[in-house]
Structure 1
Amino acid sequence: MTDSSVAAMQAASSDTPVRKRIWDLPTRVFHWTLSVTVIGLIATGLGGVMEWHFRLGYTVLALLLFRLLWGFVGGRWSRFASFFYGPGSVVAYLRGRAHPDHVIGHTPLGALSVFAVLAVLAAQVGTGLMADDEISAAGPLTRFVSGDVVSLATGWHEGPGKTIVIALVSLHVLAVLFYVLVKRHRLVRPMVSGDKLVTPAHSQAAPSRDDTASRGLALVLFAACAGAAWWISSLRV
């Protein structure tokens, strides 16, 4: 074998992508469960199926509480610290000067989308707990707050909040389609399998922990969050 052929083989080997665990199983289950549940929330809200709307709302509450906790103790790339970017990072990314982390976990724009969706959903669920349509549906916390607060919560939940949720969900889907179809980024498959192909230049990045112990911790945390959501639901009269 000639020196040139050896060099060519080494070059090809150095360009081979490396498979790395990025999204742990609890994060993946959270992502897809939240997606389906939010779609169900929108459908039941628009269709007036309020009993199921409340049930799905409590489910989203449990999921959001879990994600808040998992954002501090979850896998490396699921932690908020891994995608909490400052303005400088966002500007650099938009100018094409991406940091290596931007191609592994969430990009700065993706991170903004995640935080926006979580914040809007939290506001929508929170106001739903205090909303009262004065016909057949009243949140479990309405009797603990003043009439003015109930009125404000109801107005937001049935008006701007609902519109913003639908807009953000639509924008999120369109952004994913843009990255998949136009920029040719594999976004869906890693959120299913948990693994992502990264270039050798980024192969030194630490993978997310995704073992039996971490999954057991996630189950315990979600059970606690589901219990908290159930307790809140039991306050409804």
Structure 2
Amino acid sequence: MSGIKLSIRVWDAPVRLFHWLLVALVVALYVSQFLDLMWLHYRLGEATLSLLIFRLLWGFFGSETARFATFLASPRAALAHLAGFRRGIGAGGVGHNPAGGWMVVFLLLLLFAQALSGLFARADPHSAGPLNHFLSKPASDLVSAFHAWNFDVLLAAIIVHLLAIIAYAMIRRENLLRPMISGKKRLPAATRAPRLGSSLLALALYLLSALLVAAIVTVWR
């Protein structure tokens, strides 16, 4: 009986939509900057910031597996998980594993830093973020340099994240992508299904986040 596994929903629709929309936005942000479509780049950056604010709120008021208090383990637990990686210790958790939880927070911090600095950064003499006019030229140059440097750090973190997904698939035979698509994960039958938040609440929190960003860039532009 202990070996029986069931398909249990662990990721709600808001978390999955956030994840894949964020992936699409990061790619679009890179392409728009590469093609020098800065007007589009700034709008995409504002959309990204609204998503990030939503995820921050959902991390406190959303589904059990989405809450920071649930998936953020101690650093010692994260290191122990990594130490037992090849032996499969700690496999089959309901949500993020201890190391994955910290990676999520690290990526969110980098993305927040990128989106917020983008509001103040200047790409060239004719193109700047909506709040760049609040800064002196030295401050603008400093923020713009940070924006460029932080993107390189973010890109490196994304590559590590992708390599981790590949490593889990090849070494531990754990598919981390499928649950983020379907929302379901095969877990022991005795596993308690996590409590999932209301989609209506998620929509309300996202609308609040989008209105906040729109107000900031409209009123202070």
TM-score (norm 2): 0.90
After TM superposition, the structure 1 = structure 2 runs for residues 26-175 of structure 1, keeping only pairs within 5 Å, are 26-96=14-84, 98=89, 103-158=93-148, 160-175=149-164
Match of 1:209, as an amino acid? L
Contact 1:23 1:208 in 2 (8 A): no
Deviation, structure 1 residue 46: 2.2
Aligned residue among 162, 182, 185 for 1:193: 182
CA distance in 2, matches of 1:47, 1:186: 34
2:167 is the alignment partner of 1:183: no
Residues 91/171 of structure 1: CA separation in 2 closer, same or farther (3 Å cut): closer
Residues 30-78 of structure 1: per-residue CA shift (max 9 Å, x gap) = 0110011111111212221111111110111000000000000111111
Deviation, structure 1 residue 219: 0.4
Any idea what SS the aligned residue of 1:103 has? coil
Instruction: Give the corresponding residue for 1:7.
Output: none
Match of 2:24, as an amino acid? V
Contact 1:140 1:235 in 2 (8 A): no
2:216 is the alignment partner of 1:229: no
Any idea what SS the aligned residue of 2:64 has? coil
Any idea what SS the aligned residue of 1:196 has? strand
Match of 2:150, as an amino acid? G
Instruction: Give the corresponding residue for 1:207.
Output: 194
Match of 2:153, as an amino acid? I
Deviation, structure 1 residue 16: 1.3
Contact 2:11 2:184 in 1 (8 A): yes
Match of 1:30, as an amino acid? F
TM-score (norm 1): 0.84
Residues 148-171 of structure 1: per-residue CA shift (max 9 Å, x gap) = 32221111112x112112222222
Deviation, structure 1 residue 182: 3.2
Any idea what SS the aligned residue of 2:126 has? coil
Structure 1 stretch displaced more, 59-68 or 191-200? 191-200
- Percent pairwise identity: 36
Residues 134/92 of structure 1: CA separation in 2 closer, same or farther (3 Å cut): closer
2:203 is the alignment partner of 1:219: yes
CA distance in 1, matches of 2:209, 2:73: 27
Contact 1:60 1:125 in 2 (8 A): yes
Match of 1:183, as an amino acid? R
Deviation, structure 1 residue 197: 0.7
Residues 163-220 of structure 1: per-residue CA shift (max 9 Å, x gap) = 11222222222221221233210211111111111123xx33341315xxx0000001
Structure 2: state its 5+ residue gaps.
Answer: none
Contact 1:42 1:166 in 2 (8 A): no
Structure 1 stretch displaced more, 104-113 or 174-183? 174-183
Structure 1 stretch displaced more, 179-188 or 78-87? 179-188
CA distance in 2, matches of 1:205, 1:149: 51
Deviation, structure 1 residue 227: 1.0
